Amino acid sequence: MMHVLESSIRIIRPVGSLTSETVDAFAQELKAALSCDETGEFIVDMSNVDSIDNSGLVSLMAASSEANACSKQISLCGVPPSVRIALELAQLDQCFNFVDVAPSSASPLAA
Mean pLDDT of the chain: 83
Cβ atoms 111, 80 nearer than 8 A: no
More confident residue, 110 or 29: 29
Q: How far apart are CA 27 and CA 6, in angstroms?
A: 24
Which architecture does CATH list for 2-108? 2-Layer Sandwich (3.30)
Q: Please report which confidence band the pLDDT of residue 104 belongs to, taking 50, 70 and 90 as the band edges.
A: low
Q: How far apart are CA 29 and CA 109, in angstroms?
A: 13
SS3 29: helix
Mean pLDDT check: name the lowest of 4-8, 39-43, 53-57. 4-8
What proportion of the chain, given as a percentage, has pLDDT over 90?
51
| Residue range 44-53, pLDDT digits in tens | 999 999 999 9
Q: How far apart are CA 106 and CA 95, in angstroms?
A: 25
pLDDT of residue 36: 64
- pTM for this structure? 0.80
Tally of CB atoms within 10 A around 62: 14
The residue-averaged pLDDT of 51-74 equals 92
